[in-house]
Amino acid sequence: MPNIKKADLIPLFSFPRQRILQSMEVTHCPHAVFYNASDEQCTTCHQGEECIWMNHNDELVAIEKKSVDELKQQLLIAVDFIDSNLSPHHLSRRNCQCDNCKWLKKVQQVLDGEGQ
Ligand SMILES: [Zn+2]
């Protein structure tokens, strides 16, 4: 079991927060990106997944109260999102220094228990 610290996980949330928010068509959302599970508009929205993530992990949510496992899970969703948004030249990402790749590398290190 790698030794994963909450204090290492929490700072990793700010980057995907920005990216996901940027990618969402916030102006078309009648709810200003507040997910409402009982609203059909929300449950059928093509941005639903990103929206749910934002509502679970934005600055208003006390993520420091979540367990390491929960944080890990949410982080992995964010990894999928960032990963699927990489442009084709990231196919060789070993030496890529773009913000996405740097973030992905950092997440990998923390999840492997290597800290900073
Ligand atoms: Zn890259």
Q: What is the distance in A from the centroid of ligand 1 to the CA of 63? A: 27
pLDDT exceeds 80 at position 116: no
For position 115, what pLDDT does the model report? 54
Q: What is the distance in A from the centroid of ligand 1 to the CA of 110? A: 19
The per-residue pLDDT for range 89-104, each reduced to its tens digit, is 666 667 788 889 999 9
The answer to whether 72 and 9 are in contact (CB under 8 A) is yes
- Protein residues near ligand 1, an ion, with CB under 5 A: 90, 96, 98, 101
Q: What is the distance in A from the centroid of ligand 1 to the CA of 28? A: 29
pTM for the model: 0.84
Q: What is the distance in A from the centroid of ligand 1 to the CA of 15? A: 14
CB-CB neighbours of 22 under 10 Å: 9
The per-residue pLDDT for range 53-70, each reduced to its tens digit, is 998 897 777 888 999 999
Domain boundaries, the chain: 6-111
Band of residue 10 on the pLDDT scale cut at 50, 70, 90: very high
Q: What is the distance in A from the centroid of ligand 1 to the CA of 95? A: 8
Show Cβ contacts of residue 28 under 8 Å, excluding neighbours closer than 6 positions.
none
Q: What is the distance in A from the centroid of ligand 1 to the CA of 53? A: 23
